[in-house]
């Protein structure tokens, strides 16, 4: 299945887009993708330096076009949820990479004060309703956000980002059915990187044409090749604007997970030949070549940009390493609302039980 | 007979392999159990030995994994379903609590559901709030489900083998921090029976009742206590359902003091149940209130400091025991 995808894109060039340069968003899309790529590389470094909180770090290298292409059409007030491989999506929506990295390091200065970590980063201010470590766990929230938008007439859309693995979860179908039934401003974006841990999509479903399922529920549904960020952005524009107008949508972005599932996985279950071919489906390299081919940027300009981004992301590691762990007492904070009493520590309860005069 | 050094993980794998060899109806189904070999490596290479029809990789569809195991068990297979993390048990709770647990009863005893649901829980890997919980109380609170939680390498083997002979659904919860633990064991030696608690250490001053990883923390605490002149009995309950209360009672009556230690949150947890039962049934023998040392009533953080601070450790267990015996031990 994946082989066929590869053959279909192998001979493609950027020729079709030559001349379409004037008002292209490609430079911005490239910058977003490069920032994601570099950030994820630094997450890998943080792990190697023993400065990450655990090893359950899922890099989105190879799938940057989904984050950049879709988020290019989100605006203030829109909301979204992500799966466990969500760093790139959040960056594309304007996250501060230093606070993200600090969260990944389990530090107090992180977005969630070291409580969430890589799999649970969120920032309500940016419409990020939360990254999720339960496969499919974040999907139905966008139905609720769609109800809110309709009720308050905000014109906002809500986007669920999830992996191909989540298409095994019934909750996706329950959510899409509700969104279609009620005409809610929801978009379901499936980042199909071909794998759920060690399981290839072809080993997880008898029909890998994922958009057909969404179409069956009555959503506008497309599959797009994630190699080409402009194609992703174009499809996203159609579908996001359609959703704003009350036609919920599904978009599958085909891509390849370049590295292991999490930091300790070396993907022994993948054929090296397939892996090499998969890594050639590089949306960042593809966009870079297109910028140069179309005369939109010179190689040296891009080198300079890449260098700036490298420095920006290096600084996130320095920042994280310098930060402190959350204070122990903070573990009782935010179980309930701040005005409510905190849970009583076990030690305090034992003290009371054993109090002697 | 044959002493061998095994890890907890190897022992579990061997239990599965031996059961599959003995009984051709034993099948495994779950996410990444086949080609990948299990997220924590327990089912490594079983697919090579037993084939993809008996070691079945599933899509990421927890409710259907458990539900399919229920149907398979009702129709002549001996399924071992795997949930990668116990944290996902909520997704499967209908199939587990409304189907597996009640089928024998609702249908007037016509049929049972002899399945095993293997999963793992607990802290120790900075896996965050949705991958670090100790949810055994959900299971223990559901009549119809058996519940085993091995703490040692030998029990990892024997309890899993025994679970695979039981007529009713067994939830089998491993601890993620124990997989690499090694012990020298003789698996041919007669194991302690299913439903019997193991007295891992005997001492005159108090009883510490525990299970799973906390057993090791309790034994560590008992060593520290011994150095201070306090001798603790440590009971590993092994199976939470059936529960061997007779063993607990006998030792509580002898020592007059009991502490219950669990990684799960304190409120309405396993420790609460055990503590209530000891208080009710051994009241006349108790010199002190039964004390619970359990997880804080909070979610688990990804920060390693907060994660470790959220669950009991040897220090808290030993400190608590010393305070229970204050006045009775030299300072
Ligand atoms: C409900 C649930 N089941 C299983 C897991 C374990 N798990 C974590 S990620 C993953 C694979 C997910 O694949 P996919 O949705 O394609 O996302 P990807 O990792 O490829 O980005 C699995 C099985 C989980 N976290 N939650
Ligand atoms: Mg995937």
CATH of the domain at B245: 3.40.50.920
Ligand 1 pocket test: pick from B84, B120, B132 the residue with the most ligand atoms within 8 Å of its Cβ.
Answer: B84
pLDDT digits (tens, 9 = 90+) for A275-309: 999 999 999 999 999 999 999 999 999 999 999 99
Residue at B111 is within a domain: yes
Looking at the fold, whether B225 and B315 belong to one and the same domain comes out as: yes
Displacement of CA B308 from its chain's centroid (Å): 20
Residues of A in contact with B263 (CB under 8 A): none
Last residue of a domain, one of B146, B165, B186: B186
pLDDT digits (tens, 9 = 90+) for B2-49: 899 999 999 999 999 999 999 999 999 999 999 999 999 999 999 999
Looking at the fold, whether B179 and B203 belong to one and the same domain comes out as: no
Considering only the top CATH level, what class is A2-354?
alpha beta
Residue of B303, B304, B308 to mutate for A, most A C-beta atoms under 10 A: B303
Q: What is the band of B105 on the pLDDT scale with cuts at 50, 70, 90?
A: very high
Q: What is the mean pLDDT of residues B73-78?
A: 98
Query: Closest approach of chain A CAs to the CA of B294, in angstroms?
Result: 7
Looking at the fold, whether B212 and B152 belong to one and the same domain comes out as: no
Q: What is the band of B140 on the pLDDT scale with cuts at 50, 70, 90?
A: very high
Classify strands A199-200 and A195-196 as parallel, antiparallel or unpaired: antiparallel
Q: Which two tokens stand for residue B75?
A: 């129709």
Last residue of a domain, one of B137, B166, B186: B186
- What domain range includes position B266? 198-324
Q: What is the mean pLDDT of residues A62-79?
A: 98
Residue at B213 is within a domain: yes
Please tell me the predicted confidence (pLDDT) of residue A11: 40
Residues of B in contact with A345 (CB under 8 A): 296
Would an 8 Å CB–CB cutoff place A155 in contact with chain B? no
Q: What is the band of A12 on the pLDDT scale with cuts at 50, 70, 90?
A: very low
pLDDT digits (tens, 9 = 90+) for A153-209: 999 999 999 999 999 999 999 999 999 999 999 999 999 999 999 999 999 999 999
Please tell me the predicted confidence (pLDDT) of residue A90: 98
Please tell me the predicted confidence (pLDDT) of residue A161: 99
Residue at B193 is within a domain: no
**Structural domain count of chain B:** 2
Q: Is the pLDDT of residue B329 over 70?
A: no
Check pocket membership of A197 for ligand 1, CB cut-off 6 A: yes
pLDDT digits (tens, 9 = 90+) for B178-225: 999 999 999 999 999 999 999 999 999 999 999 999 999 999 999 999
The residue with greater pLDDT, A227 or B330, is A227
Query: Closest approach of chain B CAs to the CA of A55, in angstroms?
Result: 8
Please report which ligand is nearest the Cα atom of B89. 1
Distance CA A252, CA A261 (A): 19
Last residue of a domain, one of B186, B215, B248: B186
Q: Which of residues 6-45 of A touch B (CB under 8 A)?
A: none
Looking at the fold, whether B118 and B40 belong to one and the same domain comes out as: yes
Looking at the fold, whether B245 and B176 belong to one and the same domain comes out as: no
Residue B186, strand partner residues: B3
Looking at the fold, whether B180 and B297 belong to one and the same domain comes out as: no
Please tell me the predicted confidence (pLDDT) of residue B4: 96
Please tell me the predicted confidence (pLDDT) of residue A142: 98
Looking at the fold, whether B177 and B39 belong to one and the same domain comes out as: yes
Please tell me the predicted confidence (pLDDT) of residue A22: 54
Distances (CA, A) of B204 to B197, B251, B280: 18, 9, 22
- DSSP code of residue A123: B
Only one residue has tokens 């030690």, namely: A347
* Vertex A265 angle, CA A121 and B88, to 5°: 55
Q: Where in chain A are the domains?
A: 2-354
Distance CA A93, CA A79 (A): 10
Q: What is the mean pLDDT of residues B81-95?
A: 98
Distance CA B200, CA A282 (A): 57
- The answer to whether A195 and A63 are in contact (CB under 8 A) is no
pLDDT digits (tens, 9 = 90+) for A209-262: 999 999 999 999 999 999 999 999 999 999 999 999 999 999 999 999 999 999
pLDDT digits (tens, 9 = 90+) for B260-277: 999 999 999 999 999 999
Distance CA A184, CA A170 (A): 19
Chain-wide mean pLDDT for chain A? 94
Q: What is the band of A23 on the pLDDT scale with cuts at 50, 70, 90?
A: confident
Would an 8 Å CB–CB cutoff place A97 in contact with chain B? no
Please tell me the predicted confidence (pLDDT) of residue B327: 72
Looking at the fold, whether B121 and B77 belong to one and the same domain comes out as: yes
Q: Is the pLDDT of residue B293 over 80?
A: yes
Looking at the fold, whether B219 and B119 belong to one and the same domain comes out as: no
- The answer to whether B185 and B11 are in contact (CB under 8 A) is yes
- Tell me the CB-side half-sphere exposure of residue A131, using CA atoms within 13 A: 28
Q: Which of residues 260-299 of A touch B (CB under 8 A)?
A: 269
Q: Is the pLDDT of residue B279 over 90?
A: yes
List the CATH number of the domain containing B124: 3.40.50.970
Looking at the fold, whether B104 and B162 belong to one and the same domain comes out as: yes
Looking at the fold, whether B178 and B233 belong to one and the same domain comes out as: no
ipTM for the complex shown: 0.96
Q: Which two tokens stand for residue A66?
A: 């989904």
Please choose, from the candidates B136, B43, B124, the residue with its C-alpha nearest in 3D space to the C-alpha of residue B304: B124
Residues of B in contact with A213 (CB under 8 A): none
Chain-wide mean pLDDT for chain B? 97
Catalytic machinery residues of B: 62, 131
Looking at the fold, whether B181 and B317 belong to one and the same domain comes out as: no
Please tell me the predicted confidence (pLDDT) of residue B30: 98
């Amino acid at each position: 299945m994946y082989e066929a995808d590869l053959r279909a894109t192998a001979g493609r060039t950027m020729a079709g887009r030559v001349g379409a340069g004037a008002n292209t968003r490609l430079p911005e899309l490239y910058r977003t993708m490069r920032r994601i790529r570099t950030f994820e590389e630094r997450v890998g470094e943080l792990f190697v330096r023993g400065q990450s909180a655990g090893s359950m770090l899922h890099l989105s290298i190879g799938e940057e076009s989904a984050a950049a292409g879709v988020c290019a059409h989100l605006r203030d007030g829109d909301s979204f949820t992500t799966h466990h491989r969500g760093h790139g999506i959040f960056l594309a929506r304007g996250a501060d990479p230093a606070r993200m990295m600090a969260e990944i390091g389990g530090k107090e200065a992180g977005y969630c004060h070291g409580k969430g970590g890589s799999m649970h980063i969120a920032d309500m201010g940016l419409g990020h309703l939360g990254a999720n470590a339960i496969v499919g766990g974040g999907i139905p929230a966008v139905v609720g956000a769609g109800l809110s938008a309709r009720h308050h007439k905000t014109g906002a859309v809500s986007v669920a980002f999830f992996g191909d693995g989540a298409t095994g979860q019934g909750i996706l179908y329950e959510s899409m059915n509700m969104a279609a039934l009620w005409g809610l401003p929801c978009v379901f974006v499936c980042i199909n990187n071909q794998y759920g841990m060690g399981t290839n999509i072809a080993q997880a479903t008898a029909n890998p044409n994922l958009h057909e399922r969404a179409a069956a529920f009555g959503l506008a549904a497309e599959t797009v090749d994630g190699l080409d960020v402009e194609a992703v952005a174009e499809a996203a524009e159609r579908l996001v604007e359609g959703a704003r107008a009350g036609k919920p949508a599904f978009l599958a972005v085909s891509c390849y997970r370049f590295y292991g599932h999490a930091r300790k996985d070396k993907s022994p279950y993948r054929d090296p030949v397939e892996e090499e071919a998969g890594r050639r489906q590089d949306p960042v390299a593809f966009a870079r070549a297109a910028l140069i081919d179309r005369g939109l940027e010179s190689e040296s300009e891009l080198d300079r940009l890449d260098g700036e981004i490298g420095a920006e992301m290096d600084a996130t590691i320095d920042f994280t390493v310098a930060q402190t762990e959350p204070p122990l007492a903070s573990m009782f904070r935010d179980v309930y609302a701040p005005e409510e009493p905190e849970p009583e520590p076990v030690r305090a309860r034992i003290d009371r039980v054993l109090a002697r005069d | 007979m044959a002493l061998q050094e095994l890890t907890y993980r190897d022992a579990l794998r061997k239990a599965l392999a031996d059961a599959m060899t003995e009984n051709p109806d034993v099948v495994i189904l779950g996410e990444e159990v086949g080609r990948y070999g299990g997220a924590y490596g327990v089912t490594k290479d079983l697919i090579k030995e037993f084939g993809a029809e008996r070691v079945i990789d599933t899509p990421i569809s927890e409710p259907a994994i458990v539900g399919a195991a229920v149907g398979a068990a009702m129709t002549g297979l001996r399924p071992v379903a795997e949930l990668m993390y116990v944290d996902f048990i909520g997704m499967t709770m209908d199939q587990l609590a409304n189907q597996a647990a009640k089928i024998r009863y609702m249908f007037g005893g016509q049929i049972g559901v002899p399945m095993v649901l293997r999963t793992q829980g607990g802290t120790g890997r900075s896996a965050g709030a949705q991958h670090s919980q100790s949810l055994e109380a959900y299971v223990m609170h559901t009549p119809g489900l058996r519940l085993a939680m091995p703490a040692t390498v030998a029990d990892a083997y024997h309890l899993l083998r025994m679970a695979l002979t039981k007529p009713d659904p067994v939830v089998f919860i491993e601890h993620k921090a124990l997989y690499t633990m090694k012990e020298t064991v003789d698996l041919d030696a007669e194991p302690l029976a299913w439903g019997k608690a193991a007295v891992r250490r005997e001492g005159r001053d108090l009883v510490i009742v525990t299970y799973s990883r906390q057993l090791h923390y309790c034994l560590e605490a008992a060593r520290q206590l011994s150095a201070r002149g306090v001798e603790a009995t440590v009971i590993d309950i092994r199976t939470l359902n059936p529960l061997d209360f007779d063993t607990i009672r006998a030792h509580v009556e002898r020592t007059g003091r009991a502490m219950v230690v669990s990684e799960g949150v304190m409120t309405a947890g396993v420790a609460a149940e055990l503590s209530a039962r000891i208080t009710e049934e051994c009241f006349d023998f108790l010199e002190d209130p039964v004390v619970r040392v359990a997880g804080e009533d909070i979610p688990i953080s990804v920060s390693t400091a907060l994660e470790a601070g959220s669950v009991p450790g040897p220090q808290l267990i030993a400190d608590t025991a010393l305070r229970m015996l204050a006045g009775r031990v030299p300072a």
